[in-house]
Structure 1
Amino acid sequence: MTTPSAESAFAGQPHEPHAGSLAGRLNWLRAGVLGANDGIVSVAAIVVGVAGASASSPALLAAGSAALIGGAISMALGEYVSVSSQRDSQRALIEKERVELATDPDGELVELAGLYEERGLSADTARRVAVELTERDALRAHLAMELNIDEDDVVSPWNAAGASALAFLIGGILPLLAILLPPDAVRVPVTFLVVLVALGFTGVIGARLGGSPVGRATVRVVIGGALALVATFTVGTLLGTSGVV
């Protein structure tokens, strides 16, 4: 009876993330969900606040558009800077490990075997595993065991920035349309409803990606968004009734 290789075993389970650019995909998916959530809350808070002070459609359009464009640029820039720092750190660690393997391969082999022993393997088995993995791809073996890094999964700041900006625009357009399209009398209630439903949707997606309880994560997002809307609408209403605006 032939024992299947690790590669063939993994090939038979394509739904499981054994390899590939999993870290990169999760990174831009996370950025996308956060961007959409921020777009919904930020733009909604601004247009609802303006609606509390004035029912002028041009004012709402101007405020909402400025929030939409400015927020998308800000999200993209922040994500790019953050992920660039993470990428630079990963690259520096990879280069450091490459130098250590070139200058002290025997010491690195002993270190790798020791790490496998710490995971519960016997000394002989740990040594054999370390030798075989080193012969196959020493750098990849050390990165995976010592640093939990895959050389092929170095995060892309461009992917994260693009996903974040696009998601912010998609999320932010919802409250902008919700405040502009309905009749004046129902603008704010419709916007509240659209925003809370959209936040519930992003909460579910975020929980699925993070593996956290869906109900708890969704309630947090929805309550936070509702508080933001109530606060800005209250401020806008007070400014409007006081004659300040």
Structure 2
Amino acid sequence: MNLTSDILHAFTPTGKLRASINLGNPILANKDAVMGLPFGVSIDLANNFAKRLGVEIELVVFDAAGKSVEAVKAEQADIGFFAIDPLRGEGISFTAPYVLIEGSYLVPNDSAIQSNDEVDREGIRVTVGKGSAYDLFLTRELKYADIVRAPTSPTVVDVFVEQKLEVAAGVKQQLESDLVKFAGYRLLPGRFMVIQQAMGTPKSRGVDAAHYLAAYVEEMKASGFVADALQRHGIQGASVAPGV
């Protein structure tokens, strides 16, 4: 799809490409411990997209998915990187997913819960990051268990341990890294959901801009760009989504 002046203006009304970045998902973005700069798969995709548009990039960084989503809905950012969800789709045009991420449960070693389908029971409290894809999904799906919301996804296990809750839910890789810090816990086998991570832009930017962004994502998957980024950043627990 050709880049027209109208599409360019749709993505850059301020003259720059403002990319909403969520540091709450370590598979997509992290912050460098020395320089404090964000890096990761989503930053690589954002930088490359800005290069394609021929404009400067401005990273608008947040610590939680919900904040990142709201920034795009409020047009404080021009593109973002989110898990596809019907609720979020009310104000955002999503591409097809570029990465698939496993969602897992964490429980104490002595928990009677042995499988994912045993979680949704009376008296079980499941910790999630407020506004995360897991929060949105489990809010719809859980019928008996209660949800306890941590401020952000990276603080889920802290809240889970501090409040002595029954289950923590989140990105498998994040939970695995938390196991290094907290002894006495285990991951349930398998996964309870697969998160479809996509790019998005405000719906107000128009159909042509949405199609252009969708085509960009398909090209990045097909060219090996996304796979190379995952490998370069040492990401496990995620795979490149199939093309559409």
TM-score bucket (shorter structure): under 0.3
Structure index of larger Rg: 1
Which structure has more helix as a fraction of its residues? 1
Which structure has more strand as a fraction of its residues? 2
